[in-house]
Every structure is written in structure tokens, then in C-alpha cells.
Amino acid sequence: MGDSDLWRELGQQLRVDAVRASAKAGSGHPTSSMSAADLAAVLLAAHFRYDFDDPKSPANDRLIFSKGHASPLVYGLFRAAGVLSEEEFMTYRQFGSRLEGHPTPVLPWVDVATGSLGQGLPIGVGVALAGKRLDRLPFRVWVICGDSEMAEGSMWEAAEHAAFYELDNLTAIIDVNRLGQRGETMHGWDLSSYSERLRAFGWHTIEIDGHDVEQIDAAYREAESTDKPTAVVARTIKGKGYSKVENQNGWHGKAIAEEAIQELGGLRNITVDVPKPERVERHRFEPTPQEWPSYEVGSKVSTRKAYGEALAALGGERGDVVALDGEVSNSTFSEIFRDAHPERFFEMYIAEQQMIAAAVGMQVLGWKPFASTFAAFTSRAYDFVRMAAVSRATIKVCGSHAGVSIGEDGPSQMGLEDLAEFRAVHSSTVLYPCDGNQTAKLVRAMADLDGISYLRTTRGDTPVIYEPDEEFPVGGSKTPRAPDDEDVTIIAAGITLHEALEAADTLGSEGISARVIDCYSVKPIDAETLRSISTPIVTAEDHWAEGGLGEAVLAALADAEERPAVSLLAVREMPHSGKPAELLAAAGIDAEHIAAAARSLVRAGAPA
Amino acid sequence: MGDSDLWRELGQQLRVDAVRASAKAGSGHPTSSMSAADLAAVLLAAHFRYDFDDPKSPANDRLIFSKGHASPLVYGLFRAAGVLSEEEFMTYRQFGSRLEGHPTPVLPWVDVATGSLGQGLPIGVGVALAGKRLDRLPFRVWVICGDSEMAEGSMWEAAEHAAFYELDNLTAIIDVNRLGQRGETMHGWDLSSYSERLRAFGWHTIEIDGHDVEQIDAAYREAESTDKPTAVVARTIKGKGYSKVENQNGWHGKAIAEEAIQELGGLRNITVDVPKPERVERHRFEPTPQEWPSYEVGSKVSTRKAYGEALAALGGERGDVVALDGEVSNSTFSEIFRDAHPERFFEMYIAEQQMIAAAVGMQVLGWKPFASTFAAFTSRAYDFVRMAAVSRATIKVCGSHAGVSIGEDGPSQMGLEDLAEFRAVHSSTVLYPCDGNQTAKLVRAMADLDGISYLRTTRGDTPVIYEPDEEFPVGGSKTPRAPDDEDVTIIAAGITLHEALEAADTLGSEGISARVIDCYSVKPIDAETLRSISTPIVTAEDHWAEGGLGEAVLAALADAEERPAVSLLAVREMPHSGKPAELLAAAGIDAEHIAAAARSLVRAGAPA
């Protein structure tokens, strides 16, 4: 069988398999798989370099199905590569199967989860960027995209960054099957609408018939040899190969009858021997040990500054730490890392989705990315953070300028929902330091955490209250005021911890003894310590009342033996501009309000 | 003074005012204001049609500062228009002032808050779309954009939709001052990089010198007469007019010395008499009353289907209701509205940011937009939802396919953080119905709610348990199992409410009496009812454990007299694919697990 015949046959096999698996499951997206089957077949059979026995090998090409709903096609490829048995293949979408409705890294050959459209290409940019700038290896990144998802702005963030960073190792294969979930896309089969846009963004583009295997092969060869990111814009037919559904609306995400198998020429069992990439040595950055930042107790430093200084030091200790920033590195202070380790810093401009996606892409190759922007703007990339968890990715995010305490810039710049956001992500760790030394230690701890970790920093300078050698284990807490016999407990973190200390002093002068707990680890929270509290509790946080520190405390106490009354102080009205102290007072989370809440709880609990 | 001289003088006045206000405040973005001063001056003096005494007039042109940090320029315009006194102007960024760090609708001439970059243009698309398709009025929408923010994918979603919807009433003025916050943008002064991209997206573009008032005027005239959305791509100088900072990096977001005022020619007090638009009649859609959907108790219907049917009926009742969808209208069932009211339905394709932005834009003109997509994908637009609250916008969002109960599609499609997301938004209402009749009533209630309201719907059919005439006030709850003397209380909503009922039946057969509360109003939650509970509580939700129903219940009880033990059942491990029942069981939130949790609480509380 000649190459072209093999490719055509393999395309048919992938179609048959998509039909079979979906029919068995009773759901899935066979028609979306059938349109891209030839594109995938030629890739696997003639261009992809991959060691299926060593999927983590840095030399491997990477294949990302940005159109993750074409999962039967993904799994069909793995079957064709000989790594998925017929038996397992037919467990598609069943409970307990590794073959989920949309691909996830539960399968070793899937690097990242897709299924939220518009994410695969930006993640591919991150992988390709790592390949060019970090690992410095010749692997290629192939991303199979849907045409519908080109409507996502994140795809254009990816287009912009791919061109800017000259990612000639990146190929986007756009499966223009004309039909989205509920009807025609904006551009139908107007291939030029995609290629003109992409060319304007600086890409090389090739328009082809996506069912002509020779054209596909030639396009991939061209992509491999151009010095730009390349888009293969392929006209395809949704449901290709089964006349009853071909190019018909109304068949998205629906299993189709097994009679299609007959029209497609029946079951095939072609196995492709995918060539392994040459063994190569990845680039590594040598550690350049430097002094760890430390701050004198009583001095003042912002936690965002300490983040930058600690990150730079961490980058000196460890060659695997990289940093990305959303064009605010002089605010987040990731610029300190940039200046110390320019080769490992990536300016992602004001494109937070691309920033998180790039971080997810880089961690595929084992890098430890720290991505920073204002806490408020992490919300721009929330779907990417959510999906990073589904990808079982390990990324670190720092949100600066959290809370009303930023002052004059006003509510658009205040991160007041970031704790809720990051707490409600699987595998997440949420850290919120109050001083420089604590920040530095937590930054170091983040490097070794799995999953999504988030550090919240504050704009203004805050007093250093902990010694540089103090330890701050993740999941722990500190008790900077621990009277022997307290009347009330104040729980705070970050900026409000300092307000809590001042409140405790005020209360002390009135004869009310207050314990102060610093919950710098918001998730996991120190439940053991919290559950030992027998006094009333005031929580205070520079965050909306929902989903933040207060509710984390309540959750830790929910089924405890002791369930003291909790007065939850948080931001409840839309803040305005003003000085930090004015805004903390207006929000009812400053020392005075904390003391008042504590007083009132103590009085309520006092014997009549 | 000739027109050009006036424009130039006004430009200088706006610069002086930006310097003055920021210097007084000690912060702000004068240099970003100075680059756009001439662009703004010519607009105000020669093109803008606006009745400052009647800012809500539908005939008014609309001006959106997508680069919201240029707020001193915005306020300078209002001063030049004679509506802001010198005294108030100088309160910029002070506590209590309407002149916040970034513009908000606290000022009557500001329609929407900006300050999160990349939002003004997509919101402008919504306003322009309302102008063309809903109000059918000749007003123009002018959006002043920064060059840095062109890196946000949302700007390209806007570009795509503006062209697709042929919004020739929309002009984007791109202030290409070359410098972002921390340095040069990707494209510096390469105007063609912007105009080529925009032309590829279907826009008309005009490149000009943004400090040449005649060129500016000519460009605006050209924009007014073309039949496409137009971008005026203007080369400008950051800090223009003060030689010490002109085109210098390092001056973003910093007040500059008052000595600049001298170089700029000193204080001016030009007042511009902005012409009012002609009085026009806005288009209104006539109500076409139709039968309200109702479902028979004991039958089954999905709440997403009931959403679509109720929304269509609501659109018949009220001509001000409009719907938008992110290319999944056959899943969210907003297609039922589309078919009933095609003129009021807007397909936003897979561009969730643009969808929410368009909703925000439409509500500026008083429309009641309902925007729908999968609950999971609302996270894509979280920054837009957050900012909508700062805009004091009234929008309605429906997230379908919430939770593990969607089944086979897997975790990428499961909205498991949406309750946390929407609870942590100011002004939000969060509703989560369990049956068709309840859904219909809540959809109707949403139309009259102010602020951000969110409805969470379920994929699968669920039993109808409430009569069609039952009422479900926002902030209320139902108690579908209300034994006289209960041992335990189960709190649930949506899909888990049915599991809770089954659990109560099981428990009843064992002699354990369980009250079941349906917290369909997750925010505001029925605190009064919750605080009357004296038995142990089980909460069950198809959502991550953080920030959802369980924590809402805990928050309501935090400082109550009675604080029963609460066992919080929620999703805690990453779900896989499987049948809905399998996944509810695996997550520990099905009837069996609820019953087990209840049993264990009852036993723990039993006298020894």
C-alpha cells in the first residue's frame, strides 16, 4: 500500500472508530472527529515524532486537540499507534475508563485537558515557547483546532504571541468543517477569512482540502520548513464519509448509527509505527545561588515586592523556575526576576488567558512557571485556571494589588473575588502572606507544590512581624497574639492581619484579651488550630464576604465539637477611590471595626 | 478662534487638567491622558452629539473610554462640557468623590465602568448592536482604546462581532502611544500592525497622526460615513506636551509635576457647547402575550428546557427582554426564545467575553439581556461579570449543564465553580432551581432584579415537584419535607434536592425524621429559615465544596443563636466521565451519601 493509500485507509479507520466508540457510548462527537480524520491520519502516519513508551520524553513532538470534543479521534489515534487495546478503546465515556468524554491527562499521551474551546492553541504556544526558549529542542507542536473556536479571543492572543515569539515550531491545523454546535459558524467555508486574519497576525498560512491526503502531507511539509508559526486551514466536511450526516446541521455531539461503518468500508486494524524522535539533550539553566531575601522585623516592605525578590532568589536556586507576567511586572515586581533571569522571563503583555495557558504549556515539560498580574485580572483567565486543574497542571499564580487597600485606583483594580476564585479550583493551594519574610518562605514553598497554587499580595508596605527564619508550612497558621486566657479570637490574613493586631492591642487596653490567628494558608486551612478555638471568633478579610477567608474558617468549623459564633467581616459594599486607610474603614475591616465586632461578641457571650 | 485652533486649545486644556487633577491627587495616569487629548478634544468639540442634561436619552451618542485609566481625560471632558465644576474636578481620586481612579457610573455621563483593559470595545459592540437592532436609532458609539489593550483577546472578539453584525455606528479610536505600563507594546508605533489586523477582521481603518486635529477631524468624518465599523488608528505621544516625559518609559500611572502646566500654556477654561442629538423615537417590541409554561407535578423536564420555555414566554410578555447565547442555544435552550423572538436574539458564537460585554452594552439602553452558555464557560467571562458589577449593570446570566450530573462529557464541561463565582460578585443574585415550575417563576423574577443575576440549570430531566402556581420569592426557600419533629435537616438545591428527598424517604423508613429545605435562592439565602433550624444539618451540592451552597448556609448561621453541626457534602475529587447517577454517587452527593451523612449526624447527636 502506497503512502497515500495508507493515509486514506487510516483516515477511514479513524472514522469507523469514532463511530464505533460513540455508538457504544451512546454519546460523543463522531461527526467532529470524521471531519478531522484525514488531517490526523497524515499527521500520525507521516509527520509525528513520538515515543509512546516514553510520553514524558522532552524530545517528543506534542499533539494538542484544541477541539477536545473530537476525543474519539484522539483515542482512535492511540489505538492506531498500538498503545490502546480494542477492549479499552470500546470503554469510551464509561465510568472508570481512561477514555473520558473530552481528553484528560488520565491518559499518559494526553498532556493537557481540552474541551473548553479556545484553550489548546494558547497552551500550544506555551509548549512551543518552552521548546524554543527553555528546553531548546527541535520538537514540533501540532494543534488541531476547530473553526468554531476561532471566535474565542484567546485564539487571537495565541496568534499574536506565536508570531511575536517567532514560534516556527508551532503548527495549527484548523478543521474548517463549517458547522458549529448549533449551526453554521460566522465564516462557513470561507477559508480566506481565517487565513487573512492569521496572516495579518504574522502567521504563514496554507489553505487546503482537508480530505486530500497529498495536500495535507504537502502542507505539513511546508509547515515544517517555514520560519513562522503556520496555520493549515483545511476545508473539511463534518461527518465526512457517512452520506446521511455529511455536512448536515443537527448532528453535533450525537452518536450515529453503526450502519455508517459499512459505508466507511468496515472495521480496520491498521497500526502505525510512529517514529521516535532522536534522543536530545534539553537545555538546563544552572543554579546561581544567591542570598535569600530577608527583612528586619519592624521594617516595612510590601508583600508584592517580597514576592519579586523571593522569586528572583528562587530562580537563582533552581533552574526550573520561570516567570510570566501580564505587562505589569513593575507592579507585581516580577521584574526583579526578569532582571535576574532574563532568559526565563516571558512578557505576555495584557493577555492573561495566554499567560495562564503558556504557564500550563511550560509545565508540560516540567518547568515551574510563576505567572503574575493584578489579583483582579486573574479573573480574566479563570476558565484557564479551572481547566489547568482538569489538566492536573502544576502552575503558580501570583495576584498583586488585592483588596480595597490598594486605594485610589478604585474597584476595577481591586481583587475582591480572587480567594473565592482560587479556593473553588480543584487541587488548589491559596496563600495570603502579611509580611515580607512570610511571603518569601511561601514563594519557596510554592515551587514544590503540586496543582494550582495562588499567592495573594498587597500593594502597600506592611510591617515585618516575623523573623526571617520563621517557618510557614502550607496548611499551617501562626498565632502572633496568644494570650493565656482569651475572650475572643481574631482570624485574619494579609493586610487585615495588621489591623487585627492593632485591634487586639486596643481590646487589651480595655481588658479584653484577644487571640490573633494568622491564616496565611487559606487553603488548606489550619483546621486543627481553628477547631481548638473555644471563644467567639471575628474573621476579617479584604475580600467580598463570599468564598474567602471567613467562609473557609466556617467550613473548617462546620462539624466541629465547638462551633463558636463567628462574626465575618468582609467587603460588602462596592468600594470607591480613596486612601487605603479610608477604604479599609469604609469596608468595615480596619482595626476599629474588628475591635468593635470583637467587643460585641464578647458582650453577647458574657454571663448576664 | 477657528475650529482647528479651538480643538488644539481644548487639547491643551485637557492635558493641563489631567496634570492638575493627578498632581493634586498624587496619583493617576496623566501621560496616558495626554496622548489621547487631541483625539478626545476633536470628538467633543466637533462630532459628539449628547445631551448632558439627559444622559439616559436613547438618542445620545455614547462615549466609552476602553482605556479607563485615562480617567483625568474623561473628567476633563466633562469639565469642558460644563457639567463638572472646577471644585469637583479637583476632587479626583479623593474619598467621597464621584471622580474615581477609573471611571464608573457613579457619574451620570459614564455608562459603564472601565479599567480592566479590553472591555470597553466589546461593551461598545453591545451598545452599537442595541442601537442598530433594538432601539434602531442613529446614535454613534465612540470607543477610545489603548494600544496595549489590543493584546486582549476580547478586543478581537469585539472586532469579529462588530464586522459580522455590520456595526457601522461604531468607531474605535486607538491611541497608539507606543508605551504600555512597563515598556513598549508588541507593536510600538507600527500603526499598520493594528490596521492590517482590523481590516482582515472586516473593519475600515484610517491611520493618522493623533496630534493633528485636522487629520483627526477628517478621520471622524470618514468614520461617520463608511458602512463598516471603523478604527481610527492614531499615532500619539505618551505625555505629549510636556517635554520632560514625552515618549519616555517609566511615567505610566504617575502624577507629573505641575511645572508641566506652564509648558502646556497654563490653565484654560474653554467650555464646549456639545450639540444635543435630534429627538427620536426608539423602537419598541410589542408584547405578544403567550401562555406561561407549566409542568405537571410528577412529570419530568430539565430545568434548562424550562429556562428556554420561560424565557420565550417572558419575551412575549415583555418587549424589553433580549437573549444572547454563546453558540450553545440548543443546549441552553435559549433557542426557544430565538425561534419565538428572532429579532431580539443575538448569536454571540463561542465568545463568552463578548457575550457578557454585549449584555452590559445593551442594558445601558435599558434592555433586559439574558445571556446563556454552559455554567462551566461562564468562567471565561468572569472578569466581565466582575466589571459588570462595578458598572452597576443589570444583566441576567444562565449557566446550563451545571455539575457532575451532566455525565459522560466529563469535567471540562461541568460547571463546578459557578456558584462560587457568582456569589462573589457584588450585587449578585444566585438562583438554582430544581424543577420546571420553579425555574419558570425564577426566570420571570430575574427580569425585575437589579444587578447581576445568575440562574443555574441542570442538563438532565428532573421530576416536577412544585405546582405551577407555587411562588418562589428571591431570598426564600421551600421545605418540601417538613415533619413535625425532625431529627436532621437536609439542605439542597437543584439536582441534589431530588437526592435529598430520596434520602429523606430512606431515612424515614429507618425511623429518622428528616426535614428537607430547598435553597433555590442561594444568594440571598433564606437566613431566617436557616437560623430556625435546631437539628444537625446536611448540605448537598453538585459543586466544589468551596464557595457554594454549603458555605452560603454556614455564612447564614455564622453568628446565629443555634449553630448546629453541618456536614457539607460537595464534589471534592476531580470527576471523570460516567452516567449521571454514577457520578453523583462517586462525588458523594447522591441520596445514599446524604442519608449516610444524616444518619451519622443523628447518631453523633443522640444521648449516650
Q: Give pLDDT tens digits for B64-73.
A: 999 999 999 9
As to burial, measured by CB atoms within 10 angstroms (0-12 exposed, 13-18 middle, 19+ buried), residue A534 is exposed
A576–B95 CB contact, under 8 Å: yes
Mutation target for A interface from B332, B408, B489: give the one with most A CBs within 10 A: B408
Mutation target for A interface from B150, B551, B602: give the one with most A CBs within 10 A: B551
Cis peptide before A524 (omega within 30 of 0): yes
A350–B148 CB contact, under 8 Å: yes
A420–B424 CB contact, under 8 Å: yes
Residues of B within 8 A of A545 (CB-CB) are 555
What mean pLDDT is reported for chain B?
A: 97
User: What does the pLDDT look like over A477-512, one tens digit per residue?
Assistant: 999 999 999 999 999 999 999 999 999 999 999 999
User: What does the pLDDT look like over B534-576, one tens digit per residue?
Assistant: 999 999 999 999 999 999 999 999 999 889 999 999 999 999 9
B350–A380 CB contact, under 8 Å: no
ipTM: 0.98
B551–A554 CB contact, under 8 Å: yes
User: What does the pLDDT look like over A55-96, one tens digit per residue?
Assistant: 999 999 999 999 999 999 999 999 999 999 999 999 999 999
Pick the more confident residue, A296 or A258.
A296
Q: Report helix angle A436-447 to A303-317, nearest 10.
A: 40
Residues of B within 8 A of A148 (CB-CB) are 327, 349-350
As to burial, measured by CB atoms within 10 angstroms (0-12 exposed, 13-18 middle, 19+ buried), residue B460 is middle
Cell readout for B95 is: 474619598
Q: Report helix angle A3-25 to A71-80, nearest 10.
A: 130
3-state SS, A321-342, equals: EEEEECCCHHHHCCHHHHHHCH
Choose the catalytic residue: A149, A207, A352, A417.
Answer: A352
Measure in Å the smallest separation between the Cα of A212 and chain B Cα atoms: 27
**Confidence band of A321 (pLDDT split at 50, 70, 90):** very high
Cα A55–Cα A57–Cα A59 angle in degrees, nearest 5: 120
A555–B550 CB contact, under 8 Å: yes
A113–B349 CB contact, under 8 Å: no
**Confidence band of B270 (pLDDT split at 50, 70, 90):** very high
A547–B420 CB contact, under 8 Å: yes
Closest residue in chain A to residue B546, using alpha carbons only: A424
**Confidence band of A290 (pLDDT split at 50, 70, 90):** confident
**Mean pLDDT within A109-137:** 98
Find the CB nearest B582 among A95, A327, A411: A95
Residues of A within 8 A of B28 (CB-CB) are 408
Q: Is B385 helix (H, G, I), strand (E, B) or coil?
A: helix
**Mean pLDDT within B90-116:** 97
Please give the pLDDT value at position B528: 98
A181–B328 CB contact, under 8 Å: yes
User: What does the pLDDT look like over A153-201, one tens digit per residue?
Assistant: 999 999 999 999 999 999 999 999 999 999 999 999 999 999 999 999 9
Measure in Å the smallest separation between the Cα of A367 and chain B Cα atoms: 23
Measure in Å the smallest separation between the Cα of A406 and chain B Cα atoms: 11
Measure in Å the smallest separation between the Cα of A99 and chain B Cα atoms: 8
- Distance (Å) of CA B185 to CA A128, B144, B193: 22, 17, 12
A186–B164 CB contact, under 8 Å: yes
User: What does the pLDDT look like over B399-426, one tens digit per residue?
Assistant: 999 999 999 999 999 999 999 999 999 9
A/B interface, count of CB pairs below 8 Å: 347
Distance CA B389, CA A71 (A): 38
A331–B181 CB contact, under 8 Å: yes
Please give the pLDDT value at position B245: 94
Q: Is B102 helix (H, G, I), strand (E, B) or coil?
A: coil
H runs (alpha helix) in B165-211: 191-200
Please give the pLDDT value at position B277: 96
Please give the pLDDT value at position B489: 98
E-strand ranges in A256-410 read 300-302, 321-325, 345-347, 368-374, 395-400
Closest residue in chain A to residue B558, using alpha carbons only: A566
Residues of A within 8 A of B583 (CB-CB) are 95
Q: Residue B608: pLDDT above 60?
A: no
- Specify the DSSP element, H or E, that contains B566: strand B566-571
Is the overall model pTM greater than 0.95, yes or no? yes
Of chain A, the end-to-end C-alpha distance in Å amounts to 94
Residues of A within 8 A of B156 (CB-CB) are 153, 156
B153–A565 CB contact, under 8 Å: no
**Confidence band of B607 (pLDDT split at 50, 70, 90):** low
Q: Residue A608: pLDDT above 60?
A: no
Find the CB nearest A200 among B197, B407, B412: B197
**Confidence band of A314 (pLDDT split at 50, 70, 90):** very high
Please give the pLDDT value at position A2: 84
Cα B365–Cα B73–Cα B68 angle in degrees, nearest 5: 55
Please give the pLDDT value at position A255: 87
Find the CB nearest A380 among B155, B160, B383: B383
DSSP-assigned states of every residue in A163-208: HHTT-TTEEEEEEE-SB-SSSB-SSTT-HHHHHHHHHHTT-EEEEE
Distance CA B566, CA B480 (A): 20
Distance CA A56, CA A256 (A): 35
Spell out the residues 6+ positions from residue A407 whose beta carbon is closer than 8 angstroms to its own. Answer: A459, A460, A577, A578, A579, A580, A583, B27
Q: Are B100 and A577 in contact (CB under 8 A)?
A: yes
Distance CA A216, CA A231 (A): 12
Q: What residues does B371 pair with on adjacent strands?
A: B324, B397
**Confidence band of B606 (pLDDT split at 50, 70, 90):** confident
Find the CB nearest A554 among B27, B555, B579: B555
Measure in Å the smallest separation between the Cα of A403 and chain B Cα atoms: 13
A421–B421 CB contact, under 8 Å: yes
Distance CA B327, CA B325 (A): 6
Widest pairwise Cα distance in chain A: 94
Place of cell 472591555: B119
Q: Are A488 and A506 in contact (CB under 8 A)?
A: no
Residue B214 annotated to the active site = no
Q: Are B356 and B395 in contact (CB under 8 A)?
A: yes
As to burial, measured by CB atoms within 10 angstroms (0-12 exposed, 13-18 middle, 19+ buried), residue A201 is buried
Please give the pLDDT value at position A605: 79
Measure in Å the smallest separation between the Cα of A532 and chain B Cα atoms: 15
Find the CB nearest B102 among A101, A199, A413: A413
- Residue type at B182? R
User: What does the pLDDT look like over B500-541, one tens digit per residue?
Assistant: 999 999 999 999 999 999 999 999 999 999 999 999 999 999
Residues of B within 8 A of A342 (CB-CB) are none
Q: Are A401 and A415 in contact (CB under 8 A)?
A: yes
Q: Report helix angle A71-80 to A37-46, nearest 10.
A: 30
**Worst-scoring range by mean pLDDT, A443-447, A501-505, A551-555, B253-257?**
B253-257
A101–B577 CB contact, under 8 Å: yes
Choose the catalytic residue: B100, B152, B309, B352.
Answer: B352
What mean pLDDT is reported for chain A?
A: 97
**Confidence band of A607 (pLDDT split at 50, 70, 90):** low
**Confidence band of B83 (pLDDT split at 50, 70, 90):** very high
Q: Residue A253: pLDDT above 90?
A: no
Find the CB nearest A151 among B350, B407, B547: B350
Q: Residue A40: pLDDT above 90?
A: yes
Please give the pLDDT value at position B258: 81
Residues of B within 8 A of A491 (CB-CB) are none
Q: Residue B268: pLDDT above 80?
A: yes
Closest residue in chain B to residue A428, using alpha carbons only: B546
B102–A410 CB contact, under 8 Å: yes
Residues of A within 8 A of B349 (CB-CB) are 148, 151, 180, 185-186
Find the CB nearest A578 among B95, B328, B544: B95
Find the CB nearest A350 among B149, B354, B544: B149
Please give the pLDDT value at position B257: 83
Please give the pLDDT value at position B396: 98
Mutation target for B interface from A408, A539, A562: give the one with most B CBs within 10 A: A408
